[in-house]
């Protein structure tokens, strides 16, 4: 099965809704990952592709996307803080709005920093500090600065040190 990914911050354009509807008719397409962060678009995708799974690909708007019918999140932040990202999504999916919002507020600063460049470089910086990988990234991704006080503080906040 295939999840069709629509990541306008990486490609410079959104797949059009009629195009997604046509692609979703293919038997091997299981769903769509929408990384636009646009809630109106999430609703339009659900309407155009009702028999396919919708998953958010945008950490900062995942709860909104879940409220518009998404089944979960393909998350950059979950590479760094998986437990709280999973708890946030599960609370959203269960309709536990107050819990989901509380967890999302806690995640917001970390998500904002990790996704600010639409690049995995910041997450890789954190993971390298935790010993999971080296600090290098492949072109065309620019390397993250060697020192980042904001991320260092966030790592401590989330017990990642």
3-state SS record for 38-83: CHHHHHHHHHHCCCCEEEECCHHHHHHHHHCCCCCECCCHHHCCHH
CA distances from 54 to 71, 123, 139 (A): 6, 24, 30
Q: Is the pLDDT of residue 61 over 90?
A: yes
pTM of the prediction? 0.91
Q: What is the pLDDT of residues 72-101, one digit of tens each?
A: 999 999 999 999 999 999 999 999 999 999
Statement: residue 20 has pLDDT above 80: yes
pLDDT-derived band of residue 53, with 50, 70 and 90 as boundaries? very high
Q: How far apart are CA 17 and CA 27, in angstroms?
A: 18
């Amino acid at each position: 099965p295939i999840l069709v990914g629509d990541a306008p911050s990486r490609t410079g354009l959104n797949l059009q809704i009629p195009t997604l509807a046509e692609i979703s008719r293919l038997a091997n397409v299981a769903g769509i990952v929408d990384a636009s962060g646009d809630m109106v678009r999430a609703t339009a995708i659900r309407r155009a592709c009702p028999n396919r799974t919708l998953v958010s690909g945008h950490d900062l708007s995942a709860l909104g996307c879940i409220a518009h019918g998404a089944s979960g999140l393909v998350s950059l932040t979950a590479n760094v803080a998986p437990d709280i990202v999973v708890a946030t999504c599960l609370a959203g999916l269960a309709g536990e709005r107050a819990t989901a919002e509380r967890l999302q507020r806690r995640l917001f600063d970390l998500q904002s920093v990790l996704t600010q460049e639409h690049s995995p470089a910041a997450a890789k910086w954190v993971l390298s500090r935790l010993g999971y990988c080296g600090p290098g990234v492949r072109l065309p991704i620019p390397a993250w600065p060697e020192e980042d006080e904001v991320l260092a503080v966030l790592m401590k906040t989330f017990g990642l040190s």
